[in-house]
């Protein structure tokens, strides 16, 4: 059977020439290298042998880079199971905040500053409006997940927020439910979000926290930056609120689509012919039709690397009653008010192996011999990384 095309294949073939032709930040180089050598001999691995028929299988280690299309499945499952404990028996809303197109060149060249500001503006917007008695009059809980891409891999920074459909009253004595299929008017959200973001952006400019290289050099001038702010203030910023999710199973399934996504998954790749890469994309403007896009390999790599996040940047953040400092107090209080029976404290359970986790979520036991189906694959040898003269 022919193996499916992977992003790693494109990076291995065209990566060396791309690195030679472009001056690249270290994090891009590390991400490219990790994807290229993921599950290859260069990362080492182990040799297993069936204790029934003697079949030998070699498995290579994963790179575990968060931008690698092959390394997110098990991490996503572990994350979802940890979050499942925080779910409340209430509706949840999915709210998306998007930066306008005019801000994207600045965001691309100031990723950490702008993305941090995006989280701050969104969290303050949701928190303030939810606490307002005109809307809810309560403290909500929400998680925000940063995505930076469009379906065609163009830079498109936006936050997906999963928000509780209600919150803890400000006196902490009761749970306040939101309206059945209504959270807060999107125009109200949009207006406050725009104001908070642009106020923060102005402060960053005045504190000289922004860089203006290359094509945006003119924005360094105060007059040009002021014009940018004026134009952005005049626009209506896009905020979208999707219908509420009614039960925990749907919430967890929904979360799984967004949390550990990378810019492009391998299953969207169609073919590599010469130096042309073709992949599928969904056109939301045309009734979500699936279409094909073909790019030169160098352009494909460039677009993919636009979405490599700054080192140590946290892309999933928690607020309100779901914040780390509130889980033991406010979240516990909410569970009690909503009639959730507290689970008894148990002894710490050893971390589940990847084999056991894979068996549980797929129903396929990776320790069973793929040849005879009777024996078990027993590890016989550890394979050390083969560096080929380059560090892994």
- In 3D, which of 6, 5, 18 has the Cα closest to residue 297? 18
Which candidate, 232, 223, 150, places its Cα nearest to that of 190? 232
Residue 5 lies in a domain: no
Residue 135 resides in a domain = yes
Tens of pLDDT along 97-127? 999 999 999 999 999 999 999 999 999 999 9
Residue 317 lies in a domain: yes
Number of domains in the chain: 1
3-state SS of the chain is: CCCCCCHHHHHHHHHHHHHHHCCCCHHHHHHHHHHHHCCCHHHCEEEEEECCCCCEEEEECCCCCCCCCCCCHHHHHHHHHHHHCCCCCCCEEEEEEECCHHHHHHHHHCHHHHHHHHHHHHHHHHHHHHHCCCCCCEECEEEEEEEEECCCCCEEEEEEEEEECEEEECCCCCEEECCCCCCCCHHHHHHHHHHHHHHHHHHHHHCCCCCCCHHHHHHHCHHHHHHHHHHHHHCCCCEEEEEEECCHHHHHHHHHCCCCCCCCCHHHEEEEECCEEEEEEEEHHHCCEEEEEEEEHHHHHHHHHCCCCCCCCCCEEEEECCCCCCHHHHHHHHHHHCCCCCCCCCCCCCCCCHHHHHHHHHCCCCCECCCCCCCEEEEEEEECCCCCCCCC
Cα–Cα nearest to 67, from 283, 252, 301, 282: 301
Residue 348 above 80 pLDDT?
no
Q: Above 50 in pLDDT, residue 293? A: yes
> Could you give the percent of the chain with pLDDT greater than 70?
94
Contact call for residues 253 and 244 (beta carbons, < 8 A): no
Range from 57-71, 142-156, 348-362 carrying the lowest mean pLDDT: 348-362
Identify the bridge partners of residue 69 per DSSP, sorted by sequence position: none
Q: What's the pTM?
A: 0.91
Residue 67, pLDDT score: 94
pLDDT digits (tens, 9 = 90+) for 202-255: 999 999 999 999 999 999 999 999 999 999 999 999 999 887 777 766 777 777
8 A C-beta contact, residue 317 and residue 259 = no
What pLDDT digit, counting tens, does each position of 172-194 carry? Answer: 999 999 876 667 889 999 999 99
In a domain, 377, yes or no: no
pLDDT at position 364, please? 81
Domain extent for 198: 89-263+306-337
Q: Give the bridge partners for 391, in sequence order.
A: none
d(CA 212, CA 148) in angstroms, rounded, equals: 20
């Amino acid at each position: 059977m022919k193996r499916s095309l992977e992003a790693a294949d494109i990076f291995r073939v065209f990566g060396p020439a791309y690195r030679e032709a472009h001056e690249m930040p270290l994090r891009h180089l590390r991400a490219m290298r990790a994807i290229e050598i993921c599950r290859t001999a260069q990362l080492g691995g182990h040799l297993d042998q069936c204790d029934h028929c003697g079949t030998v299988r070699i498995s290579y280690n994963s790179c575990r880079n968060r931008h690698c299309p092959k390394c997110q499945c098990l991490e996503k499952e572990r994350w979802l199971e940890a979050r499942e404990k925080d779910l409340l028996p209430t509706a949840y809303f999915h709210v998306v905040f998007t930066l306008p197109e005019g801000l994207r060149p600045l965001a691309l060249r100031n990723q950490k500053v702008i993305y941090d500001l995006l989280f701050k503006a969104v969290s303050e917007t949701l928190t303030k409006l939810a606490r307002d008695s005109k809307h809810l009059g309560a403290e909500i809980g929400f998680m925000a997940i940063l995505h930076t891409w469009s379906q065609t891999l163009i830079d498109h920074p936006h936050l997906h927020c999963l928000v509780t459909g209600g919150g803890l009253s400000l006196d902490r004595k009761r749970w306040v439910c939101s309206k059945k299929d209504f959270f807060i008017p999107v125009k109200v959200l949009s207006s406050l979000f725009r104001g908070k973001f642009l106020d923060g952006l102005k402060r960053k400019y005045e504190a000289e926290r922004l860089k203006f290289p290359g094509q945006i050099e003119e924005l360094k001038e105060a007059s040009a930056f002021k014009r940018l702010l004026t134009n952005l203030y005049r626009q209506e910023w896009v905020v979208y609120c999707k219908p509420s999710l009614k039960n925990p199973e749907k919430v967890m399934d929904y979360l799984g689509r967004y949390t550990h996504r990378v810019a492009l998954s391998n299953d969207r790749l169609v073919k590599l012919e010469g130096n042309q890469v073709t992949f599928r994309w969904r056109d939301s403007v045309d009734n979500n039709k699936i279409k094909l896009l073909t790019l030169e390999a160098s352009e494909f790599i460039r677009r993919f690397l636009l979405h490599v996040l700054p080192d140590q940047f946290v892309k999933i953040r928690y607020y309100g009653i779901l914040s780390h400092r509130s889980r033991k107090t406010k979240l516990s209080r909410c569970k009690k008010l909503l009639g959730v029976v507290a689970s008894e404290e148990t002894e710490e359970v050893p971390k589940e192996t990847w084999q056991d986790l894979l068996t549980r979520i797929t129903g396929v036991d990776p320790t069973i011999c793929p040849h005879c189906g009777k024996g078990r694959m027993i590890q016989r040898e550890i394979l050390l990384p083969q560096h080929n003269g380059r560090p892994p």
